[in-house]
Amino acid sequence: MDIVEELLKGNRLALSRAITAIENEYDEAMDIMKKLYPHTGHAFVLGITGPPGAGKSTLTDKLARAYRAQGKTVGIIAIDPTSPFTGGAILGDRIRMNGLTMDEGVFIRSMGTRGSLGGLSHKTADAVKAMDAFGKDIIFVETVGVGQSEVDIVKAADTTMVVLIPGMGDDIQAIKAGILEIGDVFTINKADHDGADKLVREMNMMLDLDGLMTDWRPPIQKVIASQNEGITETIENIEKHFKYISENGILTKRRTERSKNEMLDVLHSNIGSYITNKLVETGKMDEYVEQIKARETDPYTVVSNVMKDMLK
C-alpha cells in the first residue's frame, strides 16, 4: 500500500498507518510527512485542556457530535498517559468516546505522552497534519490533564479551550499561572454542581485583573456535557473566536509561530537521533566520558567536535 496516495484518497487504514509511523518514528515517517505537507493548512485545530476530572473527553464527544450534525468531518487526537510497561497510550479517552467510532466522518486516535512534560506528545503536530491532509474539517487535540504544564497546547491549536469544574477550591489559584492564561474560550463543566456560579465570578475577576486583555474577552460558558447542555453555546463561542482571529491577522501569526516551532522540533529530534546513533550506540560517548574524567579533554571541546562532524 502506498500510504500517502491512499491517505489522500480517504483511506482510513492508510491514515492510521501514517500516524503509527509518525508516532513510532519509523524510517518512512519523514518521507510521509514531506509528501503530505503540501496538502495541509486547511483544518481548524481546537485544543481542549484542563485539570484531571474536568470531563474533557465527554465534552469533546458532545462537541464532535454537534459538528457532525453540521455536516463537518472531525478528527480527534486524545493525548493519553503512556503506560510505564508497554510505552503505549492507555486509551482511556478513546473508550469514553466509543459512541463516535462507528461514524465514518470521525477519526479518533489516542497517542501517548511518551514523557512529554507539556502534556502533548511531541509527534502530535505531525498527527494533526496527517488528519488535515486526510481532509478533516475540524481537529480536536485533547490533552492529558496535568495542570499548568499544558501550555504546550498553544503551539498546536488555533483556538484553545480550557475546561474547569466547580469545587476546585484553592486549586484554581494554582492553575491560574498556567493554563488559565492560554484560554481563548473557558468552559465550566458539571455546572449542576455546587459552586458553579462562584467559579464563574472568580474567573471573571481573574480575567479583569490579568492585565493581558485584548479586544477579545474570553467567554465563560457553563455546560453539563453529560446532559448535552450548553454545547450549542460553546460552539458559538469557539466560532466567534475563530472569526475574530481570522479577521485580525492573529490566526496567520499563530500559524507562522507554529511552523517555526515545528521546524525547531524537527531539528531537535534529528540532533537527538544523531547523538543516539553516532555516539551512544557506537560506544563513542563512553570513550568521551572516560577522556573527560581523566582530564584528557573537556566537554566543550567534545561538543565542538561533535557539532563539526554533524555539519560535514
Q: State how far the Cα of 210 lies from the Cα of 213, in Å rounded to an integer.
A: 7
Q: Is residue 111 part of a domain?
A: yes
Average pLDDT, the chain: 85
Higher-pLDDT residue of 131, 147: 131
**296 and 190 inside one domain:** no
Domain that holds residue 278: 264-310
Q: State how far the Cα of 305 lies from the Cα of 311, in Å rounded to an integer.
A: 10
Query: Global pTM?
Result: 0.85
**290 and 193 inside one domain:** no
For the chain, state the CA radius of gyration. Answer: 22
Burial classification of residue 260, based on how many CB atoms lie within 10 Å of its CB (0-12 exposed, 13-18 middle, 19 or more buried): exposed
* 3-class secondary structure, 208: helix
Q: Is residue 6 part of a domain?
A: no
| pLDDT-derived band at 89, boundaries 50, 70, 90 | very low
Q: Is residue 12 part of a domain?
A: no
| pLDDT-derived band at 179, boundaries 50, 70, 90 | low
**Spacing of C-alpha 266 from chain mean position:** 16
What total of structural domains would you count in the chain?
2
Q: State pLDDT tens for residues 223-257.
A: 999 999 999 999 999 999 999 999 999 999 999 99
Q: Is residue 184 part of a domain?
A: yes
Whether residue 292 contacts residue 299, with contact meaning beta carbons closer than 8 Å, is answered with: yes
Q: Kindly report the backbone phi and psi dihedral angles of residue 253, in degrees, each rounded to the nearest multiple of 5, phi listed first.
A: -65, -45
Q: State pLDDT tens for residues 22-80.
A: 988 888 999 999 999 999 999 999 999 888 888 898 999 999 999 999 999 999 998 87
pLDDT, position 272: 82
Q: Is residue 272 part of a domain?
A: yes
| pLDDT-derived band at 177, boundaries 50, 70, 90 | low
